[in-house]
Amino acid sequence: MSSLLSPLAQATQGLWFISETEAPLEPFALPVGTAVTDEASFLAAIKQPDQPIEQVTLPYFFRNMVRTYPEQDAAQIAIAQRFLALQQWLETNLQEIRVYRVGQVQVQAYVLGKAPDATWLGLKTTLVET
């Protein structure tokens, strides 16, 4: 298992992703030796071969979480800054970053990248989109 999983867990501690509901960001790693070359191989790796899948960019995925507005209070701005720091951590520590959205209405979202030890790891969360 990658040595980056623990620092990733620390970076996500207490962060909740907001869609039509709130859900925690959970660090995960695919089994060592898993190859992720495309959407189909990712679906096979998570054992969901028949689910609809969509790929988006990391900045697009985090766009609403990192945005700040003048009317926000200090706590809301601090959360946006933590999400921005998380995005930067992912971009610094992982290569070949992909964001997969699996399913419909109750969407499982996976931020996935390759660690220096060739392990695929990242974050997963649940989005509700009606």
- How does pLDDT run across 76-98, given as a tens digit for each residue? 999 999 999 999 999 999 999 99
Domain ranges of the chain: 5-128
Residue-level pLDDT at 1: 59
pLDDT-derived band at 2 (thresholds 50, 70, 90) equals: confident
115, 104, 53, 63: which is closest to 84 by C-alpha?
A: 63
Residues 6+ apart with CB under 8 A from 101: 53, 54, 55, 56, 107, 108, 109, 110, 127
Structure-model confidence comparison of residues 69 and 110, the more confident one: 110
CATH homologous superfamily for the domain 5-128: Nuclease A inhibitor-like (3.40.1460.10)
Q: Which amino acid would we find at residue 91? A: E
